[in-house]
Structures are given as structure tokens and as C-alpha cells.
Amino acid sequence: MRHTISVLVKNEFGVLARVASLFSARGFNIESLSVAETLNPSFSIMTIVTEGDEQILEQITKQLNKLIDVIKVANLSTENFIEREMALIKVGAENANREELFRIVEIFKAKIVDVSPKTMTIEVSGNDKKLADFFELLKSFRIREIVRTGKIAMLRDKKRLKKGE
Amino acid sequence: MRIPGSKILMECLKREGVTTIFGYPGGAVLNIFDEMLNTDLRHILVRHEQAAVHAADGYARASGKTGVVIVTSGPGATNTVTGITTAYMDSIPIVVFTGQVPTPLIGNDAFQEADIVGITRSCTKHNYLVRDVKDLSRIVREAFYLAKTGRPGPVLVDLPKDVISTEIEFKYPEEDVFIEGYRPTFVGNVKQIKKAVRLIMRSKRGVIFAGGGVILSNASEKLRELAQKLNMPVTMSLMGLGSFPGDHPLSLGMLGMHGTYSANMAVTESDLLIAIGARFDDRVTGKIETFAPNAKIIHIDIDPTSISKNVHVDVPIVGDCKIILGQILEALQDENLDELKIKLKPWHKKIEQWKQAHKLTYKKNGSLKPQFVIEKIYELTKGDAIIATEVGQNQMWTAQFYKFKKPRTLLTSGGLGTMGYGFPAAIGAQVAFPDKIVIDIAGDGSIQMNIQELATVSQHSLPVKIFILNNRYLGMVRQWQELFYNRRYASVSLDYPSPDFVKLAEAYHILGMQITDPKDVEEAIIKALSTKEAVLIDFRVAEEEGVYPMVPAGAPINEMLLL
């Protein structure tokens, strides 16, 4: 089963390497990982999407907690949470097909962020399903390049990963 | 007053109560070694950095204090990796300081530069690169705190040359160490303790399984109290030997691949297993599906990751072994233990039958047997020595035939299985206890992995005894080839011919003896034990002796190859 894990870490030198090498040394799988500072620059939040059964998840959570630079680990998949990913897509766009592209972009509440005589670059964000649907529709255009951020996620309601962050 | 980083380091070591350092100097740590001359610190100069770490590890295991190592950058640092991993696998508290090239040169492939923080990330509890001398005292304090508390382990601190030469205004930080992401649990959850007690009271065939954690948390007395109170038999992992007296009527000896018949049978037939500070290594469990198949398992461990990692646990209790055993003992006060003792009677009868059916033994045929040598060492030291072992047959025979009575008297590389560990570890223990008898029981293969330390023993006048069980083979590998590879002996003979260990000892100014006849063993050991200097004895033992019982790797532990 797929899990989205949120990890609050101290923003120390090498912390990303510690988390990444924990996953590789223990044979855990990382599907995506995104990381950035919190409002307090001494901390970062990593969102890790991984796959494994209950026992593996338990080990991942415990092993992450064991790292000295890790402050808190939460498996968001066990709760109600919001998940988003952003992607930039560069597609071939000749005059003839630009109209249709505009329509798709509008339906998906995406944005055109760059235009050149032969290409357009689109920014889109959403959950897994939305991105997959969007990519599917764009296949009839020539997709030149896709870059994705990996997922970020947050608990719904008033719940927080840690007070004050 | 402005002082340099090197002096700050010395001040920090003093405050941590450090008296002894094991190490090897070099370009990047010249300032530190120079500053050390101004202190009372004792520096044990080894002959290879790996040995410095093993020595600090042996010092820590024997004394319970944190071992300290200082080595230089690059090769000095990389040579520590096996020692650090050995300590990591067995949860031994050591702090390793490595020199590093000056910060502006880091990443430039400078002379004697190695990314030791990157290299040791997965074999340390934590590690640090000190990039600013202002952080030095905080980091040193954190390093010692992390090494010693919770599940102990090695911590590495990398010290760039410019950081330790920079001068700053310095005031020692007096407040407590606070590390936000590090809060080990010490006290056991009360509900879990109650559950454990309920399981204990309901059991009819209980076994206590003690691991190295009992020794690390100094919980041996509590363990003995519990075992006696419940009248429950105790088996131990290799790391747990000494946590419970090996000569106690309740002791079953070691469990697992080369464990005793009675221990392996008792665990397999048990209905309750109380695992204390053990992590269910594959050498203990054998085939995991058939390990203690009918037992409820109570697992006490300070490291949550150890719990339910290998076997399913019914009642996990996270915390310090000593504290939790205290909690269980207290909770047992309200229980009717006489009833439990009556219930356990048939169980003890069965165990006694197993004990009698297959005792630890060996074929006595007039040749010099390694097991006989160990029996004699046990007899003549009255079980009151610190014994280091190497890895392989020498280690297993020691575990079987030397009945460790007290904690911290067996120094052995259990998790990593590092050949070459024993001799430097014995050096470390001897430094900690100059007046105790410290013996390295070695094989002729293992001893040659750190043989250069004869010079260290000689230089520091350490009365370490080196007893080599010399069978001219890499005996354990040979045994596997005998049993599972149709006696095809690939690269295991060391008889080309075997080195003259007596001459070798003499070359290092140490007394050497060679024994070939069983009737000379006793006299030689007595002579060695009464000599106040290092002695090496080359026991020329039977070539193709095996370690039995043996559970083939991956087989159920009740399916043993017996003698």
C-alpha cells in the first residue's frame, strides 16, 4: 500500500542524506520526496511517498524517529489529509492547436507560464488523479518535457504536525 | 580568555570524565596531540587505527565508561570504519574524533581528505562535522550524551584543522544537553507491565532470554532476582553471556546456532518467552517461522525499532531494561508466586532431561583439543577473568565452555563478527583494569588480523594474555565447507606453514610459548597467569575440530547437528 509520510526535521547539514541513506540501507522504497523550510528556517518538512505493508511502514516510522535530526514523523495516509503536486509541462503548440490547449488549461485550472513560437509551458497542480488525467489529455499534443515537484501533503482540520510550526 | 579549538576539546574531554584516549596521530590532528601534552590524559598509541577503535570499545564494554578515540584525517579516519561498525552493531558507547582537512579545502580532494561523515552515516548513532569552533563544545557534549544514553552506540565528530586551531573566547556551557529530536523512553508503560505480569502468571513453560541490553543497562542483579523469584530458566544470546551466571542452576547457556541443546529445545517448546535487551538476530532464531512457535513473547528493549523487526511480539515494553525489570518485580509482589512455581515443576523436569541428554562436550582422544584449553582457562581463572575473543570457532567454544559469571567479562564482536577484534579489545580492557587478568582467546586466523598490536602491548607494558587456539585453519569456514561443501576446502588452510608465533612474540619483546601436548596445558596457563607481563601461548590444537551443537543457517533451532 502507498503511504504519504510527513517528517519534521532539523535543518541541519546532511539531514537529507541521512533520511535518503536510511531508506536505501534498509531497502525501503521512495516514490517521491519533497523538502523545504518551514516558517522557522531551523526546521524543514519532508513529504515522502513510499510503499510497503504495515510491518514495513512501522519500521520506516520507527527508523525515521530514531534519527537524531528527526523531530516528528506522521503517516498522513492513516488520517484525513490534503495532497498536492505541481508539474511544469512543455508542449509543442503550433497556431492550429493552441485554441484547444487553452480550453484544456482552463478546464483544469492550469496556467500558461511561458509561450514561444513553437511551444507553450503549462503549470498545473492537483492530486494524483488530476495530474494523470491532465497528462493523458495532453498526449495528443507533443509533450517535450515534464518536471514534477513530488507530493506535498497536510492534515485537514485543525490538526498540525507540530505546534507552532 | 581566547583559546584555540584544540584546548576547548581538551577541556570538554576533562569535563566528560575522560582519562584515557586510544589513537594515532597525523597531520590534521597535530594541534590536538600537542595540546594533549598539557593535560593528564593518558594516550594509548596503537599501531593501526582499527585497533584504536576496538580498544576503546573493549575499554567501554569492560568498564561501562565511554571509550574515546582520536585519529587523523583520510586513511586514519577510514581505518576506523570497521571498529565503528563493530561498536554500532553491539551498541557500545564510543566517541571517535577524526581530523579533517581545513574547511576551505573540504570537497577539493585535498591530501588525506575523506568524507568520513558521509562514510560513517549508516554505522554511527549520529555524527557531526564541526564547521565553526563556536559549536565545538556543544557538539562534544552532545556526542558523549548520545553515545551513552538510550540505546548506546558510536558517535563520530569530524574536526577540520582550521576549526581546532581557531581561537575564541570560551566559557564552558553548564546547562543540560538538550537535543530536540532525541528523547529515549526509559520507564516502561504501566499497562504493558500489567499485561506482561498476566502472561507470566498464566505461563506453564516460560523461558527468560537475556541479551546484551541487560549488560548495557547494568540490569544483571534485577535479572537474577526475577529469574529466582519466578524460578524460570534463563538462556542468553552471545551478547548476553555474563548477564546471568553461567554456573547458576537456572542457566540454560547460550541460545541459537551454537547454543546448547537444552536452550534450543526449551525455547522451541516454551509457552512464554521473556526477551530482555535482545534483538532476535538470525543467529539466535534460525528459521523465523519455527522460532518459539507456541510462545507468547514479551519483549523489553530501549530501541523501538528492535521490536517486531524480526519476530512478532505480543507484549512490547519500550524502555531501560533495569527500570522495567524493577517495575515487573514490583508488580509481581501482589501475585501468588508459589502457585506459579508448582505449575512450573513439570517444565523443570523436562528441561533437566534435555540438559542431561546432550551436555556440551567434545571427543577426548588424547590430542590437544581447543575445548579442553578453554575448560582449563575457566578452571584456572575460576571464571573471574575478562575474556576477549576473536571471531569464529574460538569465539563459539569460549561461549560454550567458559561459564561467564559476571557481566562485562566477555568482550566479543557479536553483531558484526569482526575477526581481529579480540586482541585490541583486550588491550582496552587491560587499560581500564590494570590489575585484572585479561585474556584474548584467539584463533590463528583472527590474531593475524591485528597482530601488529603486540607492539602496543609491549610499549605500554600491558599484561594481556594471548592464547591462540592454533588449528592452522580458518576453522569456522572450514567447518562449513566440511558440512555443506562436501569437504572442498577452499582457501582455508593457513599452514604454509603456520607462523612461528613464539618467535613473533619474542620479536615484540613478549614471552612466547608453544604447547602441543594436553598435559602441558595447565602448567603453561598457570605460568602465563602468574606473569605480570604480556604472554602469548600458541596452543597447537587438533586441526579439524568442529563446534557442536550446530543449527545449519536457516534451519529451525531444535534441529541441531549434535556431536
Q: What is the mean pLDDT of residues B154-159?
A: 98
A85 to chain B nearest CA, in Å?
28
pLDDT of residue A97: 82
Give the mean model confidence (pLDDT) for residues B157-174.
96
The pTM (predicted TM-score) of the whole model is 0.95
Residues 6+ apart with CB under 8 A from B282: B288, B310, B553
pLDDT in tens, B257-285: 999 999 999 999 999 999 999 999 999 99
pLDDT at A163 (0 to 100) = 43
Which amino acid appears at position B532 of this protein? K
pLDDT, tens digit, for every residue of B408-457?
A: 999 999 999 999 999 999 999 999 999 999 999 999 999 999 999 999 99
Give the confidence band of B212 by pLDDT, cuts at 50, 70, 90: very high
pLDDT value of residue A165: 41
Q: Check CB contact of B121 with chain A, cutoff 8 Å.
A: yes
For B290-314, the pLDDT digits (tens) are: 999 999 999 999 999 999 889 999 9
**In chain B, whose CA is at the least distance from the CA of A26?**
B122
Specify the residue for cell string 613478549: B510
pLDDT at A162: 60
Residue B344, φ and ψ in degrees, nearest 5: -80, -10
* pLDDT for residue A140: 86
CB contact under 8 Å between A10 and B180, yes or no, is: yes
The per-residue pLDDT for B453 is: 98
CA distance B536 to chain A (A): 41
Return all residues near B511 (Cβ < 8 A) that are at least 6 apart: B505, B531, B533, B534, B535, B536
| Residue B442 contacts residue B468 (beta carbons within 8 Å) | yes
Residue B182 with chain A: CB contacts under 8 Å: 68
Nearest Cβ partner of A68 from B146, B303, B305?
Answer: B146
Q: What percent of chain B has pLDDT over 90?
A: 99
Using beta carbons and an 8 Å cutoff, which residues of A are at the interface with B? 9-10, 13-14, 17-18, 21-22, 25, 55, 58-59, 62-63, 65-71
Tens-digit pLDDT profile for residues B394-410: 999 999 999 999 999 99
Three-class secondary structure of residue B122 per DSSP: helix
Residue A164 has pLDDT above 50, yes or no: no
> B129, A58: Cβ pair inside 8 Å?
no
Cβ <8 Å between A17 and B121: yes
Predicted pLDDT at B86:
98
Is it the case that residue B91 has pLDDT exceeding 80? yes
Q: How much is the average pLDDT of A51-71?
A: 94
Residue type for B415, please?
G
Q: Please tell me the distance from the alpha carbon of residue B354 to that of residue B24, in angstroms, as a whole number.
A: 51
Reading the block at residue A115, the C-alpha cell is: 509561450
Q: What is the tens place of the pLDDT at every residue in B128-152?
A: 999 999 999 999 999 999 999 999 9
- pLDDT at res. B397: 98
pLDDT > 90: percent of chain A: 76
Distance of alpha carbon A82 from alpha carbon B188, whole angstroms: 36
Q: Give pLDDT tens digits for B50-76.
A: 999 999 999 999 999 999 999 999 999
Q: Higher model confidence: residue B165 or residue A13?
A: B165
Q: What is the distance in angstroms between the Cα of A68 and the nearest Cα belonging to chain B?
A: 5
C-beta separation of B241 from B175 below 8 A: no
Q: Distance between CA atoms of B258 and B358, rounded to whole angstroms?
A: 13
- The contacts of residue B326 (CB under 8 Å, 6+ apart) are B222
Residue B249 CA, distance from chain mean position: 25
The verdict on ipTM greater than 0.90 is no
Size of interface A-B (CB pairs under 8 A): 38
In this prediction, residue B376 carries a pLDDT of 98
Distance of CA B389 to the CA centre of its chain: 9
The conformation of residue B231, written as its DSSP 8-state character, comes to T
pLDDT at A93: 85
Name the residue with higher pLDDT: B463 or A100: B463
The amino acid that residue B131 corresponds to is: R
Looking at chain B, the whole-number percentage of residues with pLDDT higher than 70 is 100
Mean pLDDT of chain B: 97
Per-residue confidence (pLDDT) for residue B402, from 0 to 100: 98
